[in-house]
């Protein structure tokens, strides 16, 4: 298998508190094969320096970063339906990376690249200011216990970082099925001076057609979970 980038291989000092816990996770034979054969096609080298996005994708189409794509269900569907945009997925768990690689190959998608990295460090060290048309953060780990809330990725410093990487007019979209986390997301994003809520009431927005409904979300709906969508535009 081609060597994959390690988290500590991304330049810059790692945060003391991460929003994720690395899990071993068993790779299927298909995922192992995908990592071996397809990573060189879709994988991103997170070496020193800012990425040249037009060179990475081979075009100058708008780039949207999806943070923590899980198994990549939303990623490949968004890429398929929005072929005029490029998608850069960031995920730390190899089984999810392998799963998405298989879907990209199955659907012959060329407008997706994958980084295996801590998203906060990746945004800070590998992407230039005002380089993105959008950022997507769908169903991040809610860390429901109060003592773990500090691990939630949506914090003021993170929001400022995201805003700095969005170009003027770029859109941050988030979704969660934890109401308490939705409230935190709304408060933190609303407090960022570079972001404007696309909800006229300054609250949540309906699920945009561009966000696929995943199996994870459907399962939550069957359990009676609500879903809260947010959309903020870089001013």
Active-site residue set: 141
Residue with tokens 């959309």: 231
Cβ distance 139 to 73 under 8 Å?
no
Residue with tokens 């945060």: 15
C-alpha 161/C-alpha 195 separation (Å) is 11
- DSSP letter for each residue of 130-144: T-EEEEEEES-----
**Edge-to-edge strand ranges of the sheet holding 63-67:** 112-116, 86-91, 63-67, 132-138, 166-176, 228-234, 195-197
Return the H-helix or E-strand segment holding 225.
none
- The encoded tokens of residue 169 equal 């007019």
Residue with tokens 């979300």: 217
CA distances from 169 to 26, 108, 203, 229, 233 (A): 41, 30, 19, 19, 6
| 112 φ, ψ (degrees, to nearest 5) | -130, 140
């Amino acid at each position: 298998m081609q060597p994959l980038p390690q988290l500590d291989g991304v330049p810059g000092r790692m945060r003391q508190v991460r929003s994720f816990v690395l899990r071993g996770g068993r790779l299927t034979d298909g995922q192992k094969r995908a990592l071996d054969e397809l990573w060189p096609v879709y994988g991103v080298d997170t070496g020193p320096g800012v990425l040249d996005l037009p060179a990475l994708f081979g075009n100058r189409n708008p780039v949207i970063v999806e943070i923590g794509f899980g198994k990549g269900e939303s990623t490949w569907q968004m890429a398929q339906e929005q072929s005029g945009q490029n998608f850069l997925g960031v995920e730390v768990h190899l089984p999810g990376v392998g799963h998405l690689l298989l879907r990209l190959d199955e659907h012959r998608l060329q407008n997706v690249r994958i980084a295996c990295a801590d998203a906060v460090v990746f945004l800070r060290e590998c992407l230039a200011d005002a380089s993105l048309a959008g950022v997507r953060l769908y169903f991040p780990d809610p860390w429901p216990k109060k003592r773990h809330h500090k691990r939630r990725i949506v914090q003021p410093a993170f929001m400022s970082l995201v805003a700095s990487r969005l170009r003027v007019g770029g859109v941050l979209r988030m979704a969660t099925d934890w109401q308490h986390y939705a409230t935190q997301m709304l408060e933190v994003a609303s407090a960022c001076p570079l972001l404007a809520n696309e909800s006229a009431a300054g609250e949540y927005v309906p699920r945009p057609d561009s966000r696929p409904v995943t199996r994870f979300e459907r399962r939550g709906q069957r359990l009676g979970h609500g879903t809260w969508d947010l959309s903020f535009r870089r001013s």
